């Protein structure tokens, strides 16, 4: 079957969950046993989002192949349960870079290089190459940003051109607000958005409407009339307990059947086993029946929840599997620099310190880790959280006063964490950290690491410039800290554990590989320990 393309656009404003819609469509197609992968367009001129601020842009997601990509990739992978590659990510920066490179080589000799046709052709070629290389039935293309932005205009135009040659379905994710004072849902913003899209030569095949609560029949009819769509192509996408519920919700509205009929694939049947398995797993995550447990995440970007979305999802996956009704308390680490930890952390049954960069808030995290260690509260440290677990242990158990990472105190006498030797000469910032999937070896069977993974060699994703300084290995180990996993060449520490109580931390980011079908092993062990002390 020739590849078909589904283009997901967003109207009116950002933050409507285009990533969840794209992922849900992919999940549905996957349940029909189609071979489907995503492409994400991002209009920014950065080559990738590795150099962006998580406070502004949300989490930087890392792929096995070292790609630093938009957080939507986390959603795609969690829904599809597949490891994606950087070839799915097309940014303005990458595109302009390759156009200029071609121009300098003389590939456009004699021509004036323009957005149309050169840039729009480049986009279409990339998309088609991707489909051919991966032998895909479907490519779901999410266009970042909002219709009408200058940044993504050329992507949308490229998709219009693609639709002249290939089978393309346009899905517009839009917003149907409810005016509190009158309690009524309003169609006008979507009407205007539709006109904007038509002005770009695109007639959407589906409208997916974000709402608080379902749309009334009246508003659905009105939207259908104004957009010349069948009413059953105007789809509800109300706020839900969990994003994983959306595939089921779309299926309940016959989105799958209408889509496949319009692509002349009416005889395809959903794989009932895949569907049942997904529904069961989602049911577990959304169930409120389990044991109530509160864990704290003490981070430095907590005000923007998107900064830690993979950590949150990994916790939810593990909680679902363990029948825990999890409450996550998000704590800004700077707060612990001014307040009593026993007040701020009161009642928690677990502590997570996630990844992060820069000095702000570090002492608050160390205070939280000390509190967890002394009060035997289970602890899980992720990347920075591992580095600070080592620093806290050095300071408060080994008595190395002022121990630190040279990232935060370049002059510290006890540089427990120091720059990776391979990083010392690197000047360029983009894409130069220790990135992507790396194997680690678990050293002894009698460890949290081994009981979590149940195997000796495991692979996790990384994103860091600093590491545990082996010079202090013996000192910390003599005081009880356990190094339970290292890189395969034994040079870098990958997992450390407390001697007493449950405390485990890794230089990796296991949250990035957690899936609803296979929760991250360290998260499962961590929440099991929290459950045990509850």
Q: What are the beta bridge partners of residue 29?
A: none
Indicate whether 247 belongs to the interface with ligand GLN (CB under 6 A): no
Indicate whether 360 belongs to the interface with ligand GLN (CB under 6 A): no
- Please report where in the chains the tokens 């520490």 appear, as a residue: 493
Indicate whether 383 belongs to the interface with ligand GLN (CB under 6 A): yes
The strands making up 206-211's β-sheet, listed across from edge to edge, are 89-91, 36-42, 138-143, 4-10, 168-175, 206-211, 234-238
What's the min distance (Å) between Cβ of 486 and ligand GLN? 16
Indicate whether 418 belongs to the interface with ligand GLN (CB under 6 A): no
CA 451 vs. chain centroid, Å, equals: 26
Indicate whether 356 belongs to the interface with ligand GLN (CB under 6 A): yes
Q: Which of 38, 341, 355, 521 binds ligand GLN (CB under 6 A)?
A: 355
Can you read off the two tokens belonging to residue 111?
Answer: 């021509």
Q: Are strands 168-175 and 206-211 parallel, antiparallel or unpaired?
A: parallel
Nearest residue to ligand GLN, using CB? 355
Indicate whether 384 belongs to the interface with ligand GLN (CB under 6 A): yes
Residue 269 burial (CB count, 10 A) = 9
Tell me the window of 125-133, 350-358, 365-373, 468-476 that interacts with ligand GLN (CB under 6 A). Answer: 350-358
Of 119 and 331, the one with the shorter C-beta distance to ligand GLN is: 331
Indicate whether 66 belongs to the interface with ligand GLN (CB under 6 A): no
Indicate whether 407 belongs to the interface with ligand GLN (CB under 6 A): yes
- Please report where in the chains the tokens 């970042």 appear, as a residue: 144
Q: Label residue 294 exposed, middle or buried (CB < 10 Å: 0-12, 13-18, 19+).
A: middle
Of 54 and 378, the one with the shorter C-beta distance to ligand GLN is: 54
Indicate whether 357 belongs to the interface with ligand GLN (CB under 6 A): yes
Residues 6+ apart with CB under 8 A from 262: 169, 205
* Contact criterion met (CB below 8 Å) for 176 and 211: yes
Of 311 and 449, the one with the shorter C-beta distance to ligand GLN is: 311
Can you read off the two tokens belonging to residue 278?
Answer: 């997904």
Please give the residues from 459 up to 478 whose contact with ligand GLN meets the rule CB under 6 A: 463-466
Of 130 and 468, the one with the shorter C-beta distance to ligand GLN is: 468
Q: Which residues are part of the catalytic machinery?
A: 383, 509, 511
Can you read off the two tokens belonging to residue 177?
Answer: 């607000």
Size of the site for ligand GLN (CB under 6 A): 10
What's the min distance (Å) between Cβ of 405 and ligand GLN? 7
3-state DSSP call for residue 332?
A: strand
Distance (Å, whole) CA 225 – CA 233: 11
Q: How many helices (H) and strands (E) does the chain have?
A: 18, 23
Residues 6+ apart with CB under 8 A from 145: 10, 14, 42, 43, 151, 152
* Contact criterion met (CB below 8 Å) for 281 and 314: no
What's the min distance (Å) between Cβ of 461 and ligand GLN? 10
* Contact criterion met (CB below 8 Å) for 93 and 85: no
Of 160 and 463, the one with the shorter C-beta distance to ligand GLN is: 463
Of 284 and 395, the one with the shorter C-beta distance to ligand GLN is: 395
Of 233 and 434, the one with the shorter C-beta distance to ligand GLN is: 434
Tell me the window of 24-32, 246-254, 354-362, 440-448 that interacts with ligand GLN (CB under 6 A). Answer: 354-362
Run of H or E residues at 217? helix 217-227
What's the min distance (Å) between Cβ of 366 and ligand GLN? 14
What's the min distance (Å) between Cβ of 384 and ligand GLN? 3
CA 168 vs. chain centroid, Å, equals: 27
Q: What is the largest CA-CA distance in the chain?
A: 74
What's the min distance (Å) between Cβ of 381 and ligand GLN? 10
Indicate whether 297 belongs to the interface with ligand GLN (CB under 6 A): no
Binding string, 303-342, against ligand GLN, x = CB under 6 A? ----------------------------------------
Of 31 and 492, the one with the shorter C-beta distance to ligand GLN is: 492
List interacting residues with ligand GLN (CB under 6 A): 355-357, 383-384, 407, 463-466
């Amino acid at each position: 079957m020739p590849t078909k393309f589904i283009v997901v656009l967003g109207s009116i404003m950002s933050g409507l969950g285009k990533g969840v819609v794209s992922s849900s469509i992919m999940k549905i197609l996957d349940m029909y046993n189609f071979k489907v992968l995503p492409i994400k367009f991002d209009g920014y001129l950065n080559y990738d989002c590795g150099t962006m601020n998580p406070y502004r842009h949300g989490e930087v997601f890392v792929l096995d192949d070292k790609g630093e990509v938009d957080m939507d990739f986390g959603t795609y992978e969690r829904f599809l349960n597949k490891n994606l590659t950087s070839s799915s990510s097309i940014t303005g920066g990458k595109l302009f870079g390759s156009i200029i490179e071609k121009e300098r080589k003389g590939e456009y000799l004699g021509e004036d290089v323009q957005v149309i046709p050169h840039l729009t052709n480049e986009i279409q070629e990339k998309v088609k190459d991707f489909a051919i290389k991966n032998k895909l039935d479907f490519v779901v293309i999410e266009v970042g940003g909002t219709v009408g932005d200058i940044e993504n205009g050329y992507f949308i135009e490229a998709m219009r051109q693609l639709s002249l040659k290939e089978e393309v379905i346009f899905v517009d994710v839009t917003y149907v607000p409810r005016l509190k004072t009158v309690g009524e849902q309003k169609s006008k913003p979507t009407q205007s958005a539709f006109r904007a899209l038509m002005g770009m030569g695109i007639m959407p095949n589906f409208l997916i409407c974000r709402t608080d609560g379902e749309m009334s029949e009246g508003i659905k009819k009105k939207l259908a009339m104004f957009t010349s769509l069948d009413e059953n192509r105007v789809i509800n996408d109300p706020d839900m307990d969990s994003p994983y519920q959306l595939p089921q919700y779309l299926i309940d509205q016959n989105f799958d059947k209408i889509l496949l009929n319009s692509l002349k694939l009416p005889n395809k049947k959903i794989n009932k086993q895949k569907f049942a398995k997904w529904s069961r797993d989602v049911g577990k995550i959304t169930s409120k029946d389990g044991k109530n447990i509160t864990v704290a995440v003490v981070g430095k970007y907590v005000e923007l929840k998107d900064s830690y979305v993979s950590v949150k999802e990994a916790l939810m996956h593990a909680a679902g599997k363990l029948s825990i009704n999890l409450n996550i308390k998000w704590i800004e680490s700077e707060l612990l620099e001014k307040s009593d930890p026993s007040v701020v952390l009161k009642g928690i049954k677990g502590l997570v310190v996630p990844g992060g960069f820069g000095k702000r808030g570090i002492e608050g995290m160390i205070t939280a880790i000390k509190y967890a260690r002394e009060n035997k509260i289970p602890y899980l440290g992720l990347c920075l959280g591992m580095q600070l677990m080592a620093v806290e242990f050095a300071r408060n158990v080994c008595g190395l006063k002022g121990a630190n990472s040279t990232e935060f105190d370049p002059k510290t006498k006890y540089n427990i964490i120091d720059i990776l030797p391979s990083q010392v000469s690197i000047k360029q910032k983009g894409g130069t950290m220790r990135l992507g999937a790396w194997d680690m070896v678990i050293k002894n069977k009698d460890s949290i690491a081994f009981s979590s993974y149940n195997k000796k060699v495991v692979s996790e994703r990384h994103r860091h410039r600093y590491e545990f300084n082996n010079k202090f290995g013996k000192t910390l180990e003599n005081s009880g800290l356990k190094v339970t996993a290292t890189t395969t060449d034994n040079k870098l520490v990958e997992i450390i554990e407390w001697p007493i109580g449950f405390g485990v931390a890794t230089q990796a980011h296991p949250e990035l590989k957690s899936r609803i079908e296979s929760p991250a092993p360290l998260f499962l062990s961590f929440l099991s320990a929290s459950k045990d002390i509850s």
